[in-house]
């Protein structure tokens, strides 16, 4: 749903807007659901009497899908609630054009006791349009303020609606939707006899069929249109407009064709580069002709000798090498001496060589693997032991920043309730207001604001508990419909969380509450680490004992040792082995692994 807003000045009067809304000749049907032409002129007279610049607020809304008159009326009432306008003084007219209806809502700027709100109205109306599309199940229409709308919905507690609006936000800022023309531009072209929407479609189709600016200019010429640079060259350099052959302005090329300004400047530079003629490169001869005039030319102008023109070079300076410190020289000499030394020392001939079997090797490998598994048990720590310790200042600052919007919302609701309560108490003292029933109305309004304050208090306290980690789920959204039946539950909730409510009401108490909550978080983490260590003490002791037993088994030599004499080839070449007691023999140890 597309919603547009315009403000009608007091000096222009209500005649033009009345003729357009109530007597539009291009509409198939006009249905006046509320208001009249006399009412529009009366609103203008009131604005003139109050000295206001603007007298009427015109809001046009065009749904993407068909809506009934009841649905359009309900949507207009929601717009009034958002702008705090009195729905009893509105003018609502439904137009039907090309089989699809759209609405025109006209509100007076003077609302009997205040002026109609005008802050961020475009964003607020788009928010109501997105909520209406979600409520009716229509396709969501992307707008330029979807990011701000999602943020506002989250503040109101509408998290599911905010997530649906988040899906409409484009990745880049340039991809935001942009209107091709304004409503004022469309009215101007209509008065000139041009159909701006049809021309916009024509320009878009011609641009999509063209392969460059040259072809696009030719296509525009065939339809009596031209593309030229705008008149405001100083303020908007490079901007081009499209106009008819009679000189009537159609609109900006970048807006009508949906082309980025940077891309269009690149196309212009390419067009100018192709239009410039290629400059001929003239490479002239750089040699200077020399002509000999006489036979003794070189004798008349002798070439000077180097000895005549250049001075005799002086003696070259002696470059002295820097002096090397003694400790650096000794270190260098030591390194040079170690170059030819062997990297490994040969084993002494008297050291025995222990040879084990493949089975023994596999057995030792399994023992080392079991020891590594027990070491992994010893290295286990509590899940939170390796976490970075909490930064008190940063954590408290984050909590304050997240709670700021909730505090403003609670304070605003409380102020509204206090003001209404004072007005009601003042009316109770007046006999005339009690007789006319105004005191009763103020009492009902005070009760409604009190219920609303209790509901906002419930929402804010649950949000506080969620922020500091005492609540796993976010706070449910604020309920808009409240009655006296909800009062006991809300008051019970306030008594249950009286400490949190007091902290939210007083900044000093809130800081104390934050400090206590942070200390409890740190203590709870340390207690969880201590409990985990106690629960795993027996397991770690068993792992330590197992490591000691396996290490002792790994260091135990095999009890089945077979000695085999190895004859040294340098002593004898006989195939017969020497006795085992010969000192020149070496032992070869082999055997099976010892059992556990």
- How would DSSP label each residue in 244-298? ETT--EEEEHHHHHT--HHHHHHHHHHHHHHHSPPPPP-----PPP----STTHH
Claim to verify: residue 128 and residue 7 sit in the same structural domain: yes
Asked, for residue 336, whether it belongs to a domain, the answer is: no
Asked, for residue 384, whether it belongs to a domain, the answer is: no
User: Residue 546: helix, strand or coil by DSSP?
Assistant: helix
Claim to verify: residue 366 and residue 459 sit in the same structural domain: no
Asked, for residue 96, whether it belongs to a domain, the answer is: yes
Claim to verify: residue 372 and residue 398 sit in the same structural domain: no
pLDDT confidence of residue 391: 86
Claim to verify: residue 133 and residue 194 sit in the same structural domain: no
Has this prediction a pTM greater than 0.85? no
Sheet holding 225-229, edge to edge: 225-229, 240-244, 249-252
Claim to verify: residue 399 and residue 487 sit in the same structural domain: yes
Claim to verify: residue 360 and residue 401 sit in the same structural domain: no
Cα separations (Å) of 109 from 49, 342, 467, 486? Answer: 12, 100, 41, 36
Asked, for residue 338, whether it belongs to a domain, the answer is: no
Q: What is the DSSP string of 381-430?
A: --TTTTSPPP-HHHHHHHHHHHHHHHHHHHHHHHHHHHHHHHHHHHHHH-
Claim to verify: residue 423 and residue 510 sit in the same structural domain: yes
Q: What is the pLDDT along the chain (596 residues), one digit of tens a residue?
A: 888 888 899 998 888 888 888 887 777 788 888 888 888 888 899 888 888 999 999 999 888 888 888 888 888 888 898 888 888 888 999 888 877 888 999 999 988 888 888 888 888 888 888 888 888 888 888 777 788 888 888 888 888 788 888 777 765 554 455 554 555 555 555 555 566 677 777 777 777 777 777 778 887 777 778 887 776 665 566 677 777 777 677 777 777 777 777 777 777 777 777 765 555 555 555 555 555 555 665 565 555 555 555 566 667 777 777 788 888 888 888 877 766 665 555 555 555 556 677 888 888 888 889 999 998 888 888 888 888 888 888 888 888 888 888 888 888 888 888 888 888 888 888 888 888 888 888 888 888 888 888 888 888 888 888 888 777 778 788 776 666 777 777 777 777 777 777 777 777 788 888 888 888 888 888 898 999 999 999 999 999 999 998 888 887 755 443 333 333 333 333 344 434 334 333 333 333 344 33
Rg (CA), the chain: 47
CA distance 347 to 18: 113
- β-partners of residue 488 are none
At 214, phi and psi to the nearest 5? -65, -45
Asked, for residue 76, whether it belongs to a domain, the answer is: yes
Cα separations (Å) of 583 from 346, 571, 580, 587? Answer: 20, 12, 8, 10
Q: Considering 245, 274, 303, which residue would you say is the last residue of a domain?
A: 274
Beta strands in 478-558 (DSSP E): none
Asked, for residue 293, whether it belongs to a domain, the answer is: no
Q: Considering 235, 258, 274, which residue would you say is the last residue of a domain?
A: 274
Claim to verify: residue 432 and residue 517 sit in the same structural domain: yes
Nearest Cα to Cα of residue 162 among 212, 112, 127: 127
CB atoms within 10 A of CB 468: 19
Query: Cα angle vertex 308, ends 306, 314, to 5°?
Result: 70
Q: Considering 252, 274, 296, which residue would you say is the last residue of a domain?
A: 274
- Which residues make Cβ contacts (< 8 Å) with residue 518, sequence separation at least 6? 390, 392, 395, 396
pLDDT confidence of residue 429: 87
Claim to verify: residue 360 and residue 455 sit in the same structural domain: no
The answer to whether residues 35 and 92 touch, using CB atoms and an 8 Å cutoff, is yes
pLDDT confidence of residue 58: 92
User: Residue 12: helix, strand or coil by DSSP?
Assistant: coil
pLDDT confidence of residue 585: 36
Q: Say which CATH number the domain at 92 has.
A: 3.30.930.30
Asked, for residue 281, whether it belongs to a domain, the answer is: no
The answer to whether residues 456 and 405 touch, using CB atoms and an 8 Å cutoff, is no
Beta strands in 131-254 (DSSP E): 225-229, 240-244, 249-252
Tell me whether strands 91-97 and 100-108 are parallel, antiparallel or unpaired.
antiparallel
Query: Residue 356 is part of which domain span?
Result: 350-377+547-570+582-596
Claim to verify: residue 24 and residue 131 sit in the same structural domain: yes
- Number of domains comprising the chain: 4
- Which residues make Cβ contacts (< 8 Å) with residue 136, sequence separation at least 6? 65, 67, 71
Half-sphere exposure in the Cβ direction for 56 (13 Å, CA): 28
Claim to verify: residue 436 and residue 356 sit in the same structural domain: no
Claim to verify: residue 366 and residue 266 sit in the same structural domain: no
Asked, for residue 162, whether it belongs to a domain, the answer is: no
């Amino acid at each position: 749903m597309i919603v547009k807003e315009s403000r009608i000045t007091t000096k222009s009067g209500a005649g033009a807007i009345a003729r357009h809304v109530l007597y539009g000749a291009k509409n198939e049907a006009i249905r006046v659901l509320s208001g009249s032409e006399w009412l529009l002129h009366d609103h203008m007279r009131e604005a003139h009497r109050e000295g206001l610049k603007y007298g009427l607020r015109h809001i046009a809304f065009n749904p993407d899908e068909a809506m009934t008159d009841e649905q359009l009326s309900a949507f207009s009432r929601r717009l009034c609630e958002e702008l705090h306008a009195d729905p009893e003084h509105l003018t609502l007219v439904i137009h039907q054009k090309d089989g699809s209806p759209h609405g025109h809502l006209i509100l007076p700027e003077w609302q009997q006791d205040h002026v109609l709100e005008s802050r961020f109205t475009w964003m607020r109306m788009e928010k109501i349009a997105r909520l209406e599309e979600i409520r009716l199940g229509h396709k969501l229409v992307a707008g330029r303020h979807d990011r701000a709308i999602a943020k506002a919905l989250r503040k109101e507690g509408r998290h599911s609606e905010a997530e649906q609006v988040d899906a409409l936000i484009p990745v880049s800022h340039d991809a935001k939707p942009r209107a091709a023309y304004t409503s004022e531009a469309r009215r101007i072209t209509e008065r000139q006899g041009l159909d701006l929407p049809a021309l916009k479609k024509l320009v878009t189709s011609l641009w999509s069929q063209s392969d460059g600016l040259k072809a696009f200019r030719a296509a525009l010429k065939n339809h009596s249109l031209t593309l030229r640079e705008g008149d405001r060259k100083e303020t908007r350099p490079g901007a081009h407009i499209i106009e008819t052959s009679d000189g009537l302005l159609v609109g900006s090329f970048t807006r009508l064709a949906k082309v980025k300004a940077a891309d269009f400047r690149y196309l212009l530079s390419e067009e100018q580069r192709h239009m410039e003629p290629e400059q001929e490169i003239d490479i002239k001869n750089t040699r200077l002709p020399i002509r000999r005039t006489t036979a003794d030319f070189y004798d008349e102008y002798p070439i000077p000798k180097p000895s005549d023109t250049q001075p005799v070079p002086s003696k070259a300076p002696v470059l002295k090498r820097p002096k090397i410190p003694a400790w650096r020289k000794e270190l260098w000499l030591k390194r040079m001496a170690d170059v030819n030394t062997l990297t490994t020392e040969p084993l002494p001939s008297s050291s025995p060589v222990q040879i084990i079997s493949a089975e023994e090797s596999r057995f030792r490998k399994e023992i080392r693997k079991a020891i590594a598994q027990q070491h992994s048990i010893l290295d286990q720590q509590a899940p939170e032991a390796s976490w970075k310790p909490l930064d008190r200042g940063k954590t408290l600052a984050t909590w304050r920043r997240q709670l700021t919007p909730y505090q403003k919302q609670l304070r605003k609701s409380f102020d509204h309730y206090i003001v209404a309560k004072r007005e009601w108490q003042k009316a109770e003292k007046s006999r005339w207001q009690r007789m006319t029933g105004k005191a009763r109305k103020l009492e009902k309004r005070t009760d409604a604001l009190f219920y609303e304050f209790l509901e906002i208090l419930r929402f804010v306290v649950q949000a506080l508990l969620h922020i500091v980690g005492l609540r796993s789920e976010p706070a449910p959204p604020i309920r808009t419909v409240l009655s006296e039946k909800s009062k006991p539950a809300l008051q019970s909730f306030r008594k249950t969380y009286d400490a949190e409510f007091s902290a939210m009401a007083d900044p000093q108490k809130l800081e104390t509450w934050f400090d206590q909550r942070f200390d409890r978080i740190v203590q709870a983490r340390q207690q969880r680490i201590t409990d985990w260590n106690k629960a795993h003490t027996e397991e770690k002791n068993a792992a330590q004992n197992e490591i000691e037993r396996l290490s002792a088994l790994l260091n135990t030599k095999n009890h089945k040792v077979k000695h085999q004499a190895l004859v040294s080839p340098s002593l004898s070449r006989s195939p017969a082995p020497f006795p085992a007691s010969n000192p020149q023999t070496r032992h070869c140890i082999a055997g099976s692994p010892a059992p556990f």
